[in-house]
Amino acid sequence: MSLTRSAATAAAGGNGTGRREPGPRLLASRKPLPPVLAALIARPELGAVVATLAILIFFSLASDSFLTLAGAGVWLESASTYGIMAVAVALLMIGGEFDLSAGVMTGFTALIVGVLTTQIGVNVWVAAIISLIAALAVGAFNGIVVIRTGLPSFIVTLATFFVLQGVDLAVTKLITGQVVIQGMAQVPFYDSIQPVFGSSLTIGSANFYVSVLWWLAVAGLGIWVLNHTRVGNWIYAVGGAPQAARQVGVPVRATKVGLFMTTATAGWLVGMISLFRTSTVQANTGVGQEFIFMICAVVGGCLLTGGFGSVGGAALGALIYGMTFQGITFAGWDTNWLKTFLGVMLFAAVIINHYVRKRATAA
């Protein structure tokens, strides 16, 4: 053993540099990363945790009603639907893709149910399932086109986004003569489906919506899949290095198509939640929200370049959004500041994420 070692040493140092004594000790790993960086790599959601606490404290001080039961009910409800979407969008982003049709999907699915039930008289449960199937089909279409053409998903789903946006408005107007669906509450069996997506629990003056439970469930499922299943391992791999993933036998195509379908399913769930909470839906519902989902994911620690991120972080990113959105209102400020705030958060998150990635890959 020691003989072969010195042979190797001599080999490597064949030009006289191999004078170093080949001791029996093992070669230790290279110099460790700075602790903060190491922690951020191990737990990408760390930044979001810190930001969540900071914002919670900030608005608690800025407004008396923010940190009350009633206040929490308001900002949790606000965060919940963004949270559901952010989890799915984060998984997709870790898998190396974007879905710009994620926002409009929430309106698309709600409108399908609205039109089928109020205009054609389809059973509301059946309509919900038809709507889910339509969402899955659109998700599969996005995925297959991206895989087949090799085009950036940004472009492919931008096209889908515009197509769906047009369909939402035109078809709704064509069938109902308006750009809003009304009369949902009167359709048969409405009372049997409404609680699943739109019910709330009143404690004192506080209202807690069932969507918060959906948010927690979706986040839990996402965390489980990403970190504790084979599919999760594949999601990291197809986003981080698709060529390498293919070489070691990871089903790259199926994983990516599955992720697009997951995002579409999340869009359907949020569509149902908004439809059955308000019993109405606007034809432009969801338009423009796709970027908020992405911001939540990035603030939660996802890299825009894929292969790295956190589902829990994305769920927290949505909480940050919800708290800020409502916190600004509670504090009595101009709500237009929300956008500015989002931009600043995104900027900070992107810079931190970029730095982490550079340090983690520049060996």
Partner 1 sequence: MTEPNPTPTSSPAPGTPILEARGVGKAYGGVVALQDVSMAVTAGEVTCVLGDNGAGKSTLIKILSGAHAPSAGELLVDGVETRFDGPRAALDAGIATVYQDLAMVPLMPVWRNFFLGREETVGKGLLSRLDHKTMRRVTKDDLKAMGIDLKDVNQPIGTLSGGERQCVAIARAIHFGGRALILDEPTAALGVKQSEVVLRSIVEAKRRGIGVVLITHNPNHAYPVGDHFLVLNHGTSMGYFAKADLTVEQLATMMAGDPLDVEGM
Q: Is residue 174 a contact residue for partner 1 (CB under 8 A)?
A: no
The CA distance from 83 to 91, in Å, is 12
Contact between residue 294 and residue 263 where contact means Cβ atoms under 8 Å apart: no
Q: Is residue 38 a contact residue for partner 1 (CB under 8 A)?
A: yes
Site string for partner 1, 282-321 (x = CB under 8 A): ---------------------x---xx-------------
Q: In a 3-state reduction of DSSP, which class is residue 202?
A: strand
Nearer to partner 1, 94 or 315 (CB): 94
State in angstroms the smallest separation of the CB of 20 from partner 1: 8
Contact between residue 99 and residue 297 where contact means Cβ atoms under 8 Å apart: no
What residue type is 162 in one-letter code? F
Q: φ and ψ at 291, to 5 degrees?
A: -75, -30
Q: Is residue 328 a contact residue for partner 1 (CB under 8 A)?
A: no
Q: φ and ψ at 97, to 5 degrees?
A: -135, 165
Q: Is residue 43 a contact residue for partner 1 (CB under 8 A)?
A: no
The CA distance from 101 to 108, in Å, is 10
Q: Is residue 243 a contact residue for partner 1 (CB under 8 A)?
A: yes
| Contacts for 29 with CB less than 8 Å, ≥ 6 apart | none
Q: Is residue 30 a contact residue for partner 1 (CB under 8 A)?
A: yes
Site string for partner 1, 90-129 (x = CB under 8 A): ----------------------------------------
State in angstroms the smallest separation of the CB of 233 from partner 1: 5
The CA distance from 168 to 104, in Å, is 9
Nearer to partner 1, 185 or 244 (CB): 244
State in angstroms the smallest separation of the CB of 302 from partner 1: 11
State in angstroms the smallest separation of the CB of 147 from partner 1: 18
Q: φ and ψ at 179, to 5 degrees?
A: -110, 30
Q: Is residue 36 a contact residue for partner 1 (CB under 8 A)?
A: no
Count of CB atoms situated within 10 Å of the CB of 363:
5
Binding to partner 1, residues 216-235 (CB under 8 A): 224, 227-230, 232-234
Structure tokens at 41: 């790599």
207: enclosing H helix or E strand: strand 206-209
Q: Is residue 241 a contact residue for partner 1 (CB under 8 A)?
A: yes
What residue type is 229 in one-letter code? T
Strand pairing class (200-203; 180-181): unpaired
Contact residues: partner 1, CB under 8 A: 1, 4-5, 7-15, 17-18, 26-30, 32-33, 38, 41-42, 224, 227-230, 232-234, 236-237, 240-241, 243-245, 247-250, 303, 307-308, 357, 359-363
